[in-house]
Every structure is written in C-alpha cells, then in structure tokens.
Structure 1
Amino acid sequence: MEDSAYRQDCEALRTTWNDRIACADGPLPGSVLDPLVTPQGWCGHVQLAEGQRAGTVIDAVSDIAKAYDLPDGSIVVRTMAEHRQVFIWGYTTKSGADYHLSWPHPVLDGSEFVDIKRQSNGTTLLDLVQLTTWARAHKESWDAIRAGREMDVQQFVRRLGRLRAGIVDILTRAKPQQIRELLMRVGLDRASLPNDLAEALNYPHDRDPTIPIPR
C-alpha cells in the first residue's frame, strides 16, 4: 500500500537528518532521528553516536535549523535519562520555541515524591509545600505590581504560569477546598488568580478573605 503523505513527510525529515546532520562531515555523525510531523513543525527522538552527548546536540541547533530551513532559535532540545538520547522539537516559528521554553517546570504530576506519605489520594505533603512556595512567589510579584513597585513582567508571567500549572495538576488529585485554603493562608485574593481557576476553586470575592480555622 502506498505510504500516506504523513509518512512521506516523516521520511523526508529523516532523510534530511541523515544527509545534513548525521553524515560523516555533519555536526552529529552517526546519530539517528526518529521523527514525527506536528502542526507546529516536527519533533523526534535522537539516538546519539558514541562520544556524543546532549551538549553536542545543543551546540548543533543552528546547523539543524538551517538544514530544515527553520529560523534561528526555533530548535528545542531536552535531555533524557539515557545520556546518549535526546528529544528534539523543530518549530516553524521562533515564537513556538519561545513558548515551549516558557512552559512551567517542574510539574506536580504526583510522580516526583512517591516515597513521601500522601496527605490525600495522590497528593503528597511535598506537593503542597511546593505549591505553597510557588503561591508565595506569585503573591510577592502580584503585590509589587499592585503597589507600583518595579517588577520584571517576565518574572511575573513565569511565576503565575508556574502556579497555574501547579494548581491545575494538583486539582486532579486534591479537593478544591484543600487548594483554596492553602492559597488563602498564603494571602492571595481572588483578583490575583485567573478567573477560571478562581471559579474552579470557588474562591471568595471578598477583598480580604477570611483565613480558614485549622481543623
């Protein structure tokens, strides 16, 4: 059966890698790319050759972008547990890579602290401590902006994005009341949270919410 256009596009990505990147005089000779086409460009797993490391790939990102006719700064590389493997994304726009790099990390997916006693189904005490730390950092930035003090907007966005990701992830394993009370103890008001999260947490509208009484 004739290969689909998608398979042909994937094969074209592999061929370009072999001809321009993995060739004898290329930046990563002997490496192997297993690519997939995405709506924003492509991505793939790279098996490195002997003597190559993630840093070798990072040093080659300009060559990779040029080989695939992509803008400088459009390649993202992530290391993997195996030191001779990396995962790579090639975006058709530099903004795509910039957005990717702005994703909040690390996430609270319940797998980081499996050896710590859980406070509720799927939630660890360290999860809650980490979320509290992120909430306090966001409050610091929020208070600075509200007070008119000098504040790096990028830092504010990064802290808000990190807190948002933490809340979204931990809500899959914790009750909204638990997270709402945590944020209220930190001192965050409703205006400091995105509307959808405030609604999901049933966050109070009062300017100075009542701190829950410990039970």
Structure 2
Amino acid sequence: MEDSTYRQECAALRETWDNAIAVADGPLPGSALDPLVTPQGWCGHVRLADGQRAATVIDAADVIAKAFGLPDSSIVVRTMPEHREVFIWGYSTKSGADYHLGWPHPVLDGSEFIDIKRESKGTTLLDLVQLTTWARAYKESYGALRAGREQDVQQFVRRLGRLRAGIIDILTRAKPQQIRELLLRVGLDRASLPNDLADEIGYPRDRDATIPIPR
C-alpha cells in the first residue's frame, strides 16, 4: 500500500530537516525531527545530539524557518521534561507564531486557527471584513474594561490576541495606512492598541491615555 499524501508530506519535512539542519555543517548536526503536518504548517519532536540544548534550537530558529520556506519569526520552541528533546512548531505565517506565543494556554498543534484562502498576495475583501469584525469585538471588550463594567477577562485576551494576529498577518500583504484607516473607522484609539503595533502602523496619538476612575 502506497503512503498517503499526509505521510509523504511528513517524510518531506523530515528529509528537509536531515539535509539542511541535521547535517554536519548545519545548525543542529546529528539531531532528528519527528514531524506532523498541521493546518498552519507543521510541528514535531526534535531529538537533540550531544551538547545541544533548547537554546541551541532557539538560536537556529531563523535558519530553520529559511530551510522550510517559512517567514522570519515563525518558529516556536518549547522545552520538554527530557532535556535531550524539544517540541517545535513551524507556522506558515508570522501571525501564527505570534498568536501562539501570546496565547495564555499551551497550543498543541495550531489547528485552532482558521485559514483564509486568499485570492492573491494582497488582501481580499474577506480579510478586511474579518479584521473589521475582530476590531469591533475588541473595542467592545476594551470599552467595558475602561468603563469598569463587568467583563470576561479571558474573552478580552482572546479578542486582543485575535486582532493582533490579524494585524500582523495583513501587514505582510498591505500598507500600514490601509490597516490604520480601517481601525480609525472602527473607532479604536491608540491607548487600546499594543504599543509596538501602534508604532508599526503609525497610529495617531489623538489623546493621552487616562486612568479610569473606580466606581
């Protein structure tokens, strides 16, 4: 019986690791990857060779991403109880890794993300509609917190993480001005956005952040 497409894809990942990462002149010579294909890329256990540690894998993250044709900052590494092993995720988008790192609970394989089939390298109408929906939902949660109203904190964190991932993803395919204008139309102020994203898209400093008065 011939291997399934899934097994072939896993074998291809293993071959790339062996030929680009685990070779004698690679960043992790003698290591071995046991990969799984996920909806957002791949993940797997890495068995380290003598003298290698989790920090060695983290230092090699950019090289690993390049070898697998992934964007910069798309590799996530987690240590394992067995010091000779780490678990690694390779995401097809930078936003996937960013969302993973910001999520308050462990992510198993990235399958919680919903992929949007894009018509081109640029943004589609669906991209912008979805980002607008996420921005409005986050604005609602942020406004409730600022006003001192009862608010589900976990929901707030999820909405912020989702909006952040959407902005980072679309930034790779659109100009900052497009995202800035979309968020301004929604009515988000700069204080509601993470500083790094606000700076990245040139969000205006329309007013100084204030401290809500306890009620």
Q: Partner of 1:57 in structure 2? A: 57
Residues 46-85 of structure 1 aligned to structure 2 (within 5 Å): 46-85=46-85
**Residue by residue, what CA displacement relative to the aligned partner does 1:8-36 show, whole Å, maximum 9, x if unpaired?**
10000000000000000000000000001
Following TM superposition, the consecutive aligned residue runs of length 4 or more in structure 1 with deviations greater than 6 angstroms are: 141-144, 158-161
Q: Match for 2:25: what amino acid?
A: D
Residues 133-212 of structure 1 aligned to structure 2 (within 5 Å): 145-146=146-147, 157=157
Q: Distance in 2 between matches of 1:49 and 1:12?
A: 21
Q: Distance in 2 between matches of 1:6 and 1:158?
A: 31
Q: Percent identity?
A: 76
Q: Partner of 1:41 in structure 2? A: 41
**Residue by residue, what CA displacement relative to the aligned partner does 1:102-128 show, whole Å, maximum 9, x if unpaired?**
221479xxxxxxxxxxxxxxxxxxxxx
Residues 92-111 of structure 1 aligned to structure 2 (within 5 Å): 92-105=92-105
1:67 and 1:157, CA in 2 relative to 1: closer, same or farther beyond 3 A? same
**Residue by residue, what CA displacement relative to the aligned partner does 1:22-62 show, whole Å, maximum 9, x if unpaired?**
00000000000000111110000000000000000000000
Q: TM-score, normalised by structure 2?
A: 0.51
1:106 and 1:75, CA in 2 relative to 1: closer, same or farther beyond 3 A? closer
Q: TM-score, normalised by structure 1?
A: 0.51
Report deviation, 1:144.
6.2
Q: Partner of 1:14 in structure 2? A: 14
Q: Match for 1:48: what amino acid?
A: L
RMSD: 2.7
Question: Unpaired runs of 5+ in structure 2?
Answer: 108-141, 149-155, 162-215
Instruction: Please give the secondary structure, in 1, of the residue aligned with 2:43.
Output: strand
Question: Unpaired runs of 5+ in structure 1?
Answer: 108-140, 148-155, 162-215
Q: Distance in 1 between matches of 2:55 and 2:95?
A: 23
**Preserved CA contact (<8 Å) 1:102 1:158:** no
Report deviation, 1:99.
1.1
Q: Distance in 2 between matches of 1:45 and 1:106?
A: 15
Report deviation, 1:84.
1.1
Q: Distance in 1 between matches of 2:64 and 2:21?
A: 7
Report deviation, 1:157.
2.8
Q: Partner of 1:176 in structure 2? A: none
**Preserved CA contact (<8 Å) 1:91 1:97:** yes
Report deviation, 1:145.
1.7
Q: Partner of 1:26 in structure 2? A: 26
Instruction: Please give the secondary structure, in 2, of the residue aligned with 1:3.
Output: coil
What is the total number of aligned residue pairs between the two structures? Answer: 121
| RCO higher in structure (CA 8 A, sep ≥6) | 2
